[in-house]
Chain A
Amino acid sequence: MGASKLELVCPAGTPAALKAAIEAGADAVYLGLRDETNARNFPGLNFSPAEYAEAIRFAHERGVKVLHAINTYPEAGNMAPWRAAVDLAAREGADAVIIADMGLADYVAQSHPDLRLHLSVQASASTADAILYYIEQFGVKRVVLPRVLSVSEIAALNREIPCESEVFVFGGLCVMAEGRCSLSSYATAKSPNMNGVCSPPSHAKYERNGEELLSQLGDYTINRFDAGEDAGYPTLCKGRFKVGGETSYVFEEPTSLNALEHLPALIEAGVTALKIEGRQRGRAYIAGVVSQIRAAVDAAENGGSADTSGLRALSEGGRQTAGAYQKKWR
């Protein structure tokens, strides 16, 4: 393995971020429309249909692929926006659509059999049989693997599946199986699966309580900070909670995924593409992260390594973890 070149797939939350990612060395960018059809449905992000067409033109002129994330679950009685997004991708010549919902995957397979189908991480296909199911049923060409697998499990999986695999290498870290988490939905009634938002800013607030600051999501306190502490954003699964009288980061600390230490092993495991999370990020962040990871990938493919120490400063809370890629994380 490792004969073919790794594809570096980078987030493009805005046209500016798209340009930054491409200039910093992206092989492919992924993006979504400015609506509930994609899983980063935040104000000020994403692409209008006109910006979308321009993004594809800009990327293709530079030999960069555009992958269109349509990775929320269409609403009952309102499937039209998701189908329209698929139709747009086919019409404008996107290189692939990234889909989570089976009904929508079926629509792609039936209506646009030539449109390349990638299985979103939001589908959480974590076994060979699950992936084979999507290949057999819908002709999926690539699976974005859920962040619940260790490197050795990924290697074993790749020996059993006749499609490409894409893995997350840097950025936000879902500690729960993606596409199967209703924690934020429970606290805010805005669902990652249905509305494309997790721990949305519309429901985040801070409340001063004497010397301390409480961060809240909906009605619930997610963290408490002392006077000198940096107050982080109230992402539900990165909060401090009480269990059995002990207060701790019960699920995970505020941290970012950084799997670069596993790069040689991931290449060895036969992955096709590396994905950077962060469509909600600005241009400077994208430029910094993509260029460092580009250097790391190029070095790793030649058996070397690159200095990526600058990534720490771009991580949540300045902390990084390799997450489930290492078995001890569990």
Chain B
Amino acid sequence: MAGKNSGNGKLTLGPVLFNWPAETWRDFYFRIADEAPVETVYLGEVVCSKRSPFYAPVLDEVAGRLMEAGKQVVFSTLALVTQGREADAVRELGRTRELMVEANDPTALRHLSGRPHIVGPYVNVYNEGTLLYLAGRGAVRVCLPFELPAHSLARLAAAAGEELEIEVQAFGRLPLALSARCYHARAHHLHKDNCQFICGQDADGLELDTVSDQPFLSINGIQTMSHTYVNLVDELAAMRAAGIGHFRLSPHSCDMVEVAAIFRAVLDGGLGADEAQAKLEEAVPAAEFSKSFYQGVPQHAKAG
């Protein structure tokens, strides 16, 4: 393999964060395998372990199809692990040595330490001390936390050197918080233990507005996300120049093959950032785009 700074930059597809029907989930990945210009695909339930059994029967088939298509397949672990059976599942993933695993909490790090693995964006890597510490324990790629501003991303990419790959989410709603409580169930006056999988109603999350009718956040089970979709298509060149080599697209119900094609074209120099921006607005008309974290500024409200 050439160094991480060679080539035009790689696209990755983050794990599906929403509760999609298993068939939709499977068909989504089949199409990604066949058509999407992404190098890596992250698979696995990151948000709620109660959803995992639905995907389990089709997981091997999906992974096989993606690998046949030449994609690097990475298994992502649960972000908030509290129960024994959840910890067991993480341990099991860590034991399967032929898999590349993305660790999303220290539970997973314990099982992956000492062998090549990826550190996911739910692990708090804010500075060079932590980055290099993790690299010394086997991390080959680190997807940085969502809230880091451009100057911190650049500092970390510089500290990473030639070997450690740096990834940043460049498209999709941003995960902002995790809780023991399920807000999707709570919004429907249900309890988490008897949630009726109500989160399955919202393919891109449940909209939360302020009482002044400002679109603000979106709810995804125990996870709270931004209302806006991060879109760093016009920052790709700057991030490439800073030494960031991997750009994560987080799946939504829009045409992700089209989204990936637009990002790919910009990375390859065949499409200008302005034109790409216009194409993304067309491809995802429901989304309000943002790069407030990247710029280090408050998210500004759009009047409802």
Contacts and interface: CB of A to CB of B under 8 A. Distances in A.
Kindly name the residue among B86, B155, B210 whose own CB sees the greatest number of chain A CB atoms within 10 A.
Answer: B210
Contacts, number: 229
Nearest to B82: A126
A182 B146 contact: yes
B131 interface: yes
A106 B129 contact: yes
Interface residues of A, number: 75
Contacts of A242: 208-211, 213
Interface string B237-263: 000000000000000000000000000
Given A180-B177, A244-B187, A74 B110 contact: no
B57 interface: no
Contacts of A203: 298
Contacts of B33: none
A75 B83 contact: no
Contacts of A149: 82, 180
A128 B87 CA distance: 8
Interface stretch (B14-22, B23-31, B60-68, B101-109): B101-109
A59 interface: no
B182 interface: yes
A221 B212 contact: yes
A288 B165 CA distance: 52
Contacts of B147: 182, 185-186, 191, 193-194
B42 to A, nearest CB: 19
B41 interface: no
Interface in B39-87: 79-84, 86-87
B207 interface: yes
Given A76-B127, A189-B292, A222-B210, A156 B106 contact: no
Interface in A125-146: 125-130, 132-134, 136-137
Contacts of B80: 126, 148, 177, 180
Interface stretch (B2-10, B214-222, B267-275, B276-284): B214-222
Contact of B214 (A221, A246, A330): A221
B106 A129 contact: yes
A187 B299 contact: yes
A35 B111 CA distance: 35
Given A130-B105, A183-B176, A224-B211, A189 B129 contact: no
Give chain B's interface secondary structure class: mixed
A73 B137 CA distance: 20
B133 interface: yes
B287 interface: no
Contact of B110 (A100, A129, A189): A129
Give chain A's interface secondary structure class: mixed
Interface string B114-152: 000000001010111111111001000000011110011
Contacts of B179: 148, 175-177, 251
B106 A188 contact: no
A220 B133 contact: no
A75 B110 contact: no
Nearest to A103: B129
A101 interface: yes
Contacts of A244: 187, 206
Contact of B207 (A102, A107, A123, A243): A243
B97 interface: no
A115 interface: no
A104 B212 contact: no
Interface residues of B, number: 74
A77 interface: yes
Contacts of A148: 80, 82, 179-180
A324 B124 contact: no
B260 to A, nearest CB: 26
B91 to A, nearest CB: 7
Contacts of A240: 211
A241 B208 contact: yes
A76 B145 CA distance: 12
A130 B81 contact: yes
A130 B82 CA distance: 10
A247 B6 CA distance: 51
B206 A243 contact: yes
Contact of B191 (A180, A243, A328): A328
A172 B219 CA distance: 23
A328 B182 CA distance: 11
A104 B130 CA distance: 7
A216 B293 CA distance: 20
Given A127-B107, A129-B110, A130-B110, A101 B180 contact: no
Contacts of B292: 186, 189
Given A74-B127, A103-B127, A103-B130, 15 more contacts: A74-B126, A76-B126, A106-B129, A128-B87, A148-B82, A181-B177, A182-B145, A182-B177, A186-B147, A189-B297, A193-B145, A193-B147, A219-B214, A250-B183, A324-B180
